[in-house]
């Protein structure tokens, strides 16, 4: 606890290591080869936008950067606003590493701009052997990953058995969120 922490009456919490997102770059090899899942070629970062010129400038800049590098890498960017007031920046690219780098660029821009507390999570889309969607969610604030497997049929129900199986398989590859109550579902994901 530092001097300023004593004055404020609370310690400043240290954030997760910024490079934890890159663990996904190596994990996807195991996901595709050993777990028989394929990348959907899509990822997203979810954040709560602010109606300020500074925040809008940061978002526009990161869209421009990802869009400009997209001409070299093939990454495309789309925005979607959901009914909860969150913005989804959806990246599409057949090269999985480009998705990881793109998500990291957006996250870093928001963190560096002082808006890291506005970021909810990152999400990587996969499909299992039967074609069912499987999402690996990155909790930015905690620097941990967890699986989210919605059940088919349009009802808001999740396959917890499949999620726990994935947890056991991914535990050596990714920093998995140890507290299951923090495995929040994301319904209505705007990925195809």
Is residue 135 domain-resident?
yes
Q: Write the pLDDT tens digit of every residue in 84-135.
A: 889 899 999 999 999 998 898 888 888 888 888 889 999 999 999 999 999 9
Q: What pLDDT does 8 receive?
A: 56
Q: Which of 7-11, 58-62, 89-93, 140-144 has the lowest mean pLDDT?
A: 7-11
With a cut of 70, say whether residue 192 has pLDDT above it.
no
Is residue 190 domain-resident?
no
**Comparing 153 with 12, which gets the higher pLDDT?**
153
The DSSP symbol for 141 reads T
Is residue 46 domain-resident?
yes
- DSSP 3-state assignment of 169? helix
Q: How many domains does the chain have?
A: 1
- DSSP 3-state assignment of 144? strand
Q: Write the pLDDT tens digit of every residue in 31-79.
A: 999 999 999 999 999 998 887 787 778 777 777 766 666 567 778 888 8
Distance of CA 168 to the CA centre of its chain: 20
Is residue 188 domain-resident?
no
Q: 106-116: buried (b, 16+ CB within 10 Å) or exposed (e) per residue?
A: bbebbbebebb
Is residue 189 domain-resident?
no
**Comparing 5 with 153, which gets the higher pLDDT?**
153
Residues 6+ apart with CB under 8 A from 19: none
Q: What pLDDT does 11 receive?
A: 52
Mean pLDDT of 3-21: 57
Is residue 192 domain-resident?
no
User: Which of 93-107, 149-163, 172-186 is most confident?
Assistant: 172-186
Mean pLDDT of 173-181: 96
Q: 38-66: buried (b, 16+ CB within 10 Å) or exposed (e) per residue?
A: bbbbbbbbbbeeeeeeebeebbeebbeeb
Mean pLDDT of 144-162: 91
Of 129, 127, 172, the residue nearest 150 (C-alpha): 127
Is residue 160 domain-resident?
yes
Domain that holds residue 171: 16-177
Q: What pLDDT does 17 receive?
A: 57
With a cut of 60, say whether residue 170 has pLDDT above it.
yes
The CATH number of the domain where 151 resides is what?
3.30.70
Is residue 66 domain-resident?
yes
Mean pLDDT of 7-25: 66
Q: How many angstroms separate the CA atoms of 103 and 62, rounded? A: 10
């Amino acid at each position: 606890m530092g001097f300023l922490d004593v004055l404020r009456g609370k310690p400043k919490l240290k954030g997760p290591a910024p490079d934890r997102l890159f663990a996904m770059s190596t994990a996807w090899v195991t996901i595709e080869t050993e777990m028989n899942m394929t990348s959907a070629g899509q990822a997203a970062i979810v954040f709560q936008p602010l109606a300020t010129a500074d925040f809008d400038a940061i978002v526009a800049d990161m869209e421009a950067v990802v869009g400009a590098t997209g001409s070299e890498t093939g990454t495309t960017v789309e925005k979607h606003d959901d009914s909860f007031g969150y913005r989804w920046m959806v990246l599409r690219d057949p090269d999985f590493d480009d998705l990881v780098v793109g998500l990291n660029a957006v996250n870093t821009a928001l963190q560096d701009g002082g808006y890291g507390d506005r970021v909810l999570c990152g999400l990587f889309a996969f499909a299992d052997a039967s074609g069912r969607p499987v999402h690996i969610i990155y909790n930015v604030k905690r620097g941990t990953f967890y699986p989210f497997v919605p059940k088919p049929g349009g009802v808001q129900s999740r396959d917890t058995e499949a999620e726990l199986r994935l947890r056991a398989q991914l535990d050596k590859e990714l920093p998995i969120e140890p507290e299951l109550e923090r495995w929040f579902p994301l319904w209505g994901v705007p990925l195809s």
